[in-house]
Structure 1
């Protein structure tokens, strides 16, 4: 087998399993560990993977790896739509209520469903609080929805409003439901995100809302990113698109987290 063919197979293995070890690859391809390390060095140089101690991981498994909003909008779209639809059923249609929408692709799909929201009884109103510029823009045209956008610095990568002033505003609020996104959901580590400033806002959302609903497609399950913003027990409901692994499901049940499969 030529080196190029072997390296292509290594990339496929890393993509499917997220992590490979030098010894596993040496055994699989019947080559020396030194040859494996040269292959991994070459693939890292081509930005196909990232070297770690004893092997390599997929680039999307890095603790600080984060894609732009535009890149994420095209990924797992059908799954996110199902999650957003399930979340929509939790929003009250009668009496005046308040919800908090975190910045993110799934919460933005939930906002798409709210564009045509109408109260069950005339005169009722829904207050939507958000730190997401795209969400505020989408909902501004619905006269039955009062939109409050949190102030602070706009983070270009995610169009999220972040910073100390954003957190301070959240600390003075107590909305009925907070919908929060996550980059990782792990049995031991909890709910996490790669960015420190967004983590601070997410933690403030979790602490401010009377009921906290996490929206995370199944690609986020059993994953850890850099910063934990909530322990499992701080979330009331997790809406995802596939059953969690046994380990994660057991931990969620022990933390009294309701799991909704959309």
Structure 2
């Protein structure tokens, strides 16, 4: 976590208008990643009751999420969380999802693994004694698993995105388009029962679409908090994947909506 607004003797500037105050609240949570209601109340100089009302308004708008007394940002059409925040969220669930995806590798020998922290966890979870060719647009994945003797890693070169350290651009798409892969494991910023899989960045969407197009099989992996969220650019439909793997933290009622929309949903 950065030391942005909560460190040192930062003067509190309290916006008077509710909309201005909520914009300040949203910016603070996005800058820090996760903050308690008490921390936010003290920093913004408002009562806990006022702060909770503001959080509820932003929750209803799909911009913030409150779990207990902790407030966290939510992916949106114009905002994407970074690797540091993702590495601290829903780790137990993400590990269960990775284990299920590994179980579903089948006979695949060539695998595209998407960018992001959750795909990095998957790459680190791959079997130690199984020979695999890993194709990825993720610099962290290449860095962390390239020294494993059973994994042959091909990093797709292109422009590196600072937020996720994934590569994008025509060179990535061109290199992918020349390949024939057994399996693509794809993630998303949002999953909607009506809008499918989405991401805020068109360049990222193009890489995902290309990887899916050259892969014989496709698996989707995503934590429960990504379901019900819609980012700006759709890159896939629910029915494009042989399995949509998430955690049992996605409630049965919400899961039913995705199953009814055609998803081969697996909760682990």
TM over 0.5: yes
User: Structure 1 pair 254/168, CA: closer, same or farther in 2 (3 Å)?
Assistant: same
- Aligned counterpart in structure 2 of residue 13 of structure 1, from 56, 61, 64: 56
2:215 equivalent to 1:172: no
Q: What's the secondary structure of 2:121's corresponding residue? A: helix
Instruction: Mark the CA change 1:18 to 1:254 in structure 2 (over 3 Å): closer, same or farther.
Output: closer
Give 2:20's aligned residue. none
1:253 Cα deviation from its structure 2 partner: 4.7
In 1, distance between residues paired with 2:48 and 2:137? 47
Flag structure 2 segments of 5+ consecutive residues without an equivalent.
Answer: 1-44, 65-71
Secondary structure of the residue aligned to 1:228 is: strand
Secondary structure of the 1:112 match is helix
Shift of 1:238: 0.6
1:211 and 2:217 correspond: yes
Name the count of aligned residue pairs.
216
- The Cα of 1:251 is off from its aligned counterpart by 4.4
Matched, 1:84 2:105: no
1:118 is displaced (CA, Å) by 0.5
Name the Cα RMSD after superposition.
Answer: 2.5
1:69 aligns with 2:87: no
Asked if the contact 1:232–1:252 (Cα under 8 Å) also holds between the matched residues in 2, the reply is no
**Contact map agreement 2:239 2:264 (CA 8 A) in 1:** no
Q: For residue 118 of structure 1, what is the aligned residue in structure 2? A: 129
Q: Distance in 1 between matches of 2:221 and 2:215?
A: 15
1:100 aligned residue (90, 103, 112): 112
Question: In the alignment, which of 256, 260, 266 is matched to residue 249 of structure 1?
Answer: 256
Over alpha carbons, which structure has the higher Rg? 1
Separation in 2, partners of 1:3, 1:112: 44
Post-superposition CA distance 1:136-171 (Å, at most 9, x none): 112211112211111211111101011011111112
Question: Matched residue of 1:128: which SS?
Answer: strand
Name stretches of at least 5 consecutive residues in structure 1 with no aligned partner.
21-47, 50-57, 120-124
